[in-house]
Every structure is written in C-alpha cells, then in structure tokens.
Structure 1
Amino acid sequence: MDFLIYAFDLASQSFHTVPQPQYPNSYRAIDLGILEGSLCVVCTDEKNSVDVWVMREYGIKKSWSKLVVLTLANSMSWPYPFVKPIMYLKNGKELLLEVDDQWLEVYDIAAKETTEIWAGDASHMSTFVYQEGLVPLLRIEQVV
C-alpha cells in the first residue's frame, strides 16, 4: 500500500508532496504528527508493531530517522493500535507516548523499553502539549 504526504504552502497557495522515509511495504496504517517541532510519521504493521519516524530537517529525505520500534501486545485497538508521540523527556532520552487514547507510556530510547506510567479510568483521553511563550502585543493607532 502506498502512502503520500502532502503539504500546503501558504505563500504559493499550492500543494506539494513531502519526501518520506524509506520504510518497508509492510505498514498497514500511517499517521502524521508533530514531535517538538519536527514532522513525524507513526507506522503500524499487521503484527501491531509500531515505528515512529522523525524528519530532522523539513523537506530533506535523508533526515528521516526511525526513533521508536514498539510491539504493543496489550493494545486494545483493532485492527491497529493508535500511538501518539507527545514529547521528549529527560533531555531526549525518553519519549512520552499516548496509546489507544487510553494510557500513557514512557519509551526509553537507549534501552528500547516502555513503561506504562498512567492508565486512568476514562474511556477516552486526548493529550496536547502546551508551551507558554511570550506573545508580543501589537497596538494600532490612528494618527490624526
């Protein structure tokens, strides 16, 4: 199955394709995301294995790197688990993941192991990263 990623350029008001990683044809589901400002794709195969790829330099095919390889035996999703990378922890050594809209796991990048850190009693959860920043206040005055 082939997948294409399209981007819309606001300046030129046109669509263009984004180069993808050189991943195998065994992926059955692909989802897009943003991980701390970088484009990422979450790929799931028929064995519920999940790979997370990150594009380090936007538009550069060679900058894709496979960050995470997971096998989610306890995933409840059918036919494919839903994994959403949320943010890096511990200076980029760990990755916080939302799984199946139900629980959170931490993936240790070096050890290649996950640890469930939170499973609430809600039937659905949504996670978002909020980063407070300075927003300049613009004031327009009419000069008479």
Structure 2
Amino acid sequence: MVVALDLGVEDYREVLQPEYKDKNFYIDLGILRGCLCFLANFLGQRVDVWIMKEYGVRESWTKLFSVAQGEVNGFLRSLKPLAYSKSGDEVLIEHDNLDLCWYDLKRKQIKNRIPGMPYSFEADAFVESLISVNPNRHLDGRTQDENEDMNMRDDFLSEGFKLVL
C-alpha cells in the first residue's frame, strides 16, 4: 500500500497503484521530473518503472520502461531512476548501487554505462522546495501551538488552582 500524507491539512489517503496482472513484486517509490515514480521489482526477473502524470489520478499511471535481468551486469536486485537527460530521450538510472547508466526511451534499452564509478555508492534525487516542513517552529524549539498550550496551562493553573509542595 502507498499512502500520501498532506502536511497542509494533516490528512492522509491511499495512492492507488497501477493495474497489474502479476501481483508478485516489491514496491519502491521515487520521483522523476516532479512526478511520482512507482517501481515494481519482480524479484530478479525485471523492474517496471511507472510514472503518475496527474497526481492522485490512477488512470494517469504510465509505464515508462522495463529493465529485464539480462540487460544489466550482475543480478537485478534494485533499480532507481534519477533524472531525465536534457533531450528527455534518456533516463539516468542506478542499478544495485553499483552502476549508473542511461536508459534510451526510444530504443527501449540500456544505452551507456557511466565508467569510473566507485565499487559501491548510493545516488538519490533531491527535490528542492521553498515550503518549510514546519513553518511555525520558533527558536525555542516549540511550535506556536505548543507555546499557546503552555500559556493555556499557565492560565489554567493561575485560575483557582494552587500548587502545594
């Protein structure tokens, strides 16, 4: 199950997955050019990469490409799309933290492996945002609501209750 959390309204909901005939796969998620990316890993056989073109609309899932075991060096445990090329015709992918390569979307094949990579590495896509995760956090570490709660507790104690030690 994939769950989306809306921080603005503090609510969550299920994000419906693409339709599959075969249900025996592991799920991984990512982001590719601002679109939610769904990876269906069929346990060493292949990895299907889907993107959701219109967020929240199940029918907008589009299968971008699929990489089979025979197309990669070594065993296909994981695959992570990182970015599109400038032309948009290729996708940079990470394979098992061992290889970086380009997937050619027109020819539907892995095109170029990038030489000189360290033995093992991890790459991730970074999504920049100007929106603060917690815009109400003050320098004292408390949120505005927490500060108001503290003031309410002080008011509550000062109205009719005495603390006896």
Give the TM-score category using the shorter length: 0.7 to 0.9
In 2, Cα distance between equivalents of 1:121 and 1:58 = 34
- Rounded Cα–Cα distance in structure 1 between residues aligned with 2:111 and 2:24: 24
Summarize the Cα distance change of 1:131–1:25 in structure 2 as closer, same or farther, 3 Å threshold. closer
Q: Count residues with an aligned counterpart.
A: 129
Does residue 110 of structure 1 match 2:91? no
For structure 2, the 5+ residue unaligned runs are: 131-165
Match of 2:62 among 62, 65, 72: 65
Larger Rg: 2
Q: Is the 8 A contact 2:103 2:111 kept in 1?
A: yes
> Normalised by the size of structure 1, how large is the TM-score?
0.77
Distance in 2 (alpha carbons) for counterparts of 1:51 and 1:126: 20
State the percentage of identical aligned residues. Answer: 33
Change (3 A) 1:120 1:27: farther
- Greater percentage in helix: 2
Q: Is the 8 A contact 1:86 1:96 kept in 2?
A: yes
TM-score normalized by structure 2?
Answer: 0.68
Match of 1:62, SS state, is helix
Distance in 2 (CA, whole Å) between partners of 1:39 and 1:105 is: 21
Partner residue, 2:118:
122
SS of residue in 1 equivalent to 2:59: helix
Which runs of at least 4 in structure 1 moved beyond 3 Å after TM superposition?
A: 74-77, 128-133
Deviations 1:43-63 (A, max 9, x none): 111452111000001001111
Change (3 A) 1:113 1:121: closer
Gap regions ≥5 residues in structure 1: 136-144
Matched AA of 1:34? I
SS for the counterpart of 2:114 is strand
**1:82 equivalent in alignment to 2:114:** no
The answer on whether the counterparts of 1:21 and 1:61 sit within 8 Å (CA) in structure 2 is yes
